[in-house]
Structure 1
Amino acid sequence: MNPDENDAVDAFERLGLTSYEAKVFIALHRLGSGTARDVARIADVPRSQVYSVAESLADRGLLEIQQSSPMRYRPVSVEEAQTTLEERFDRERERAFAYVESVNDASTGEEEREDIWTVRGRSRVTDRVIDLCSAADDRIVFGTRLSGLLTDSIERTLEERATAGLSVTVVSRSEAVRGRFRALEEVAVEEPPAYREADQRSGRICLVDDDSILLSVVDDDDSETAIWSAGSLFATVLIQLIEASQEVRR
């Protein structure tokens, strides 16, 4: 098979066909119609397997079988096949997510776990910071030593939450970070204690209300990894420890 056909077979497999089914379906479209011998001659499928594969494709509504000797096979049109596979995909998707929703509903009312999550990649960490800040009810503390980790989207979210009446504090040793909020009276800007000057690994910190937190580190390859927890006792205790430590060092 050429690279394009390999890609097509891979795509059909992702749509639910087997490799043999995809190869037979493509071969029949190349032929227009044909016998098992015809298909095996141009497709990488043993002739002995073509019969059962063709039956399976017929069951899926993707080809027609002519009851002759030898039997001949003809694929449905591309448009009809596309509609058939789309409808199958939609049915399977609905079935899968209906089950997941039922499992989710069944868990409602059970004792909550203390969930601590890990997220990797700067864009995903940024999305999580925005999600946490957007869910805040009372206050937000955001800090970073790197100006590149204060994205425009985070800046807008902090400004919007501050304008909405929440207590928003930005903490950074970077003047580039602090300077972006100088003109906004609703946002408090602070510089961290001097003992943090040697810190070269921290990425971002986000404290939300008294029970949600995100902490990230920047790895040697400049990638970012964060842990976060929302609405949990773990987050509450960690926030208390961080704030108590800050008070002791002042």
Structure 2
Amino acid sequence: MSTRDAVTALKRLGLPNYQARTFVALQQLGTGTAQEISDVSDVPRSQVYGAADDLAERGLVEVTESSPKEYRPVSLATAREQLTNRLERERERAFDNLAQLRTAPSARGDDQSVSTLRGRQPIDDRIAKLVESADSRVVFVAPEASSLSEQIETKLREQAARGMFVTVVTAEESERPRFSESSITVIVMGEDNPADFAGRALMIDDRTVLLSVATDDDTVDEEAMWTAGSRIGRILTQFMQSGIESGRERNP
């Protein structure tokens, strides 16, 4: 890793620019005066004093009261712990504040609203919440066993236990035993089903639809769109229902 990369990484961990550059310089020097740190880091000497003192307050630097002052970094293990603990505190503070500011979800329906999501876990969370919102019927298309997370399976079972009509559509015969002891209906599509699985899908009460597909992105493995209580949702549910019925006729 280059010096620039190390500085960038520390900035991402919450250190301001001059503090990050000062800390990296001290890793190279071991111990250094403000002038020596400035020479290595290109931080103006007048700014090194403040940056080094701030690092000392963070527990990342020791200060030797000599003439001139000398600065020494704490061990990397200690620095890692200090930065990790600080990030944890800031994270908790941020989300506590957000929780206080957050208002209840609006009950107002937007007749044309379509939302998008990226990432497997956010999509799993949304599917689980949508399943939980069902009034009478849930259809979940899970092409593979891995498509159905434990979180989603739990919500499907809970809704089935409440008397909802819950259906799982899959391409894997092995999914039948998974729900054999529940009231969940499992439909296994055969290879001759004309509607190939493009990804996961969810239909709730003939009015809410979520569709997702895998991506080739190295950072995001799945993306989805969903709509609830809208005209487009009702149209999409009709297409989904038609495809499922067609598949059942071909794969009784």
The alignment's TM-score, normalised by the length of structure 1, stands at 0.64
* Whole-angstrom distance in 2 between the partners of 1:116 and 1:97: 26
| Structure 2 unmatched ranges of 5 or more | none
1:135-214 alignment runs, 5 A limit: 135-144=133-142, 146-148=143-145, 150-151=147-148, 153=150, 154-155=152-153, 157-171=155-169, 174=171, 176=173, 179-180=176-177, 183-184=180-181, 186-190=183-187, 197-200=193-196, 202-214=198-210
Determine which of 209, 215, 229 is the counterpart of 2:227.
Answer: 229
Work out whether residues 141 and 201 of structure 2, in 8 Å CA contact, stay in contact via their aligned partners in 1: yes
**How high is the sequence identity, in percent, across the aligned residues?**
30
Q: Does the 8 Å contact 2:34/2:69 carry over to 1?
A: yes
Q: Which consecutive unaligned segments of at least 5 residues does structure 1 have?
A: none
Shift of 1:26: 4.1
Query: Match of 2:201, as an amino acid?
Result: I
Q: Matches of 1:235 and 1:245 in 2, distance apart?
A: 15
CA deviations 1:54-111 (Å, max 9, x no partner) are: 213314525547484xx32324745886787567546654664465445533x87695
**Alpha-carbon RMSD:** 4.7
Larger Rg: 1 or 2?
1
Q: How many residues align?
A: 237
Structural mapping, 1:21-170, within 5 Å: 21-28=19-26, 31=29, 33-40=31-38, 43=40, 45-46=41-42, 49-59=44-54, 61-62=57-58, 64=63, 66=65, 68=67, 71-75=68-72, 77=74, 85=83, 89=87, 92-93=90-91, 96-97=94-95, 100-101=98-99, 103-105=101-103, 111=108, 113=110, 115-120=113-118, 125-144=123-142, 146-148=143-145, 150-151=147-148, 153=150, 154-155=152-153, 157-170=155-168
Q: For the residues of structure 1 that align with 2:149 and 2:106, how far apart are their CA atoms?
A: 38
**Structure 1 235/186 Cα, relative in aligned 2: closer, same or farther at 3 Å?**
farther
**Secondary structure of 2:200's partner?**
strand
- The 8 Å contact of residues 35 and 73 in structure 1, kept in 2 or not, is answered as yes
Amino acid at match of 1:183: S
Which amino acid in structure 1 is aligned with residue 46 of structure 2? Y
Gap change, CA 1:83 and 1:210, over 3 Å in 2: same
Question: TM-score normalized by structure 2?
Answer: 0.63
1:210/1:197 CA distance change after superposition, 3 Å = closer
The partner residue of 1:215 within 201, 211, 216 is 211
The CA distance in 2 between the partners of 1:248 and 1:89, in whole Å, is 52
- 1:218 and 1:199 map into 2 onto residues whose CA distance is 17
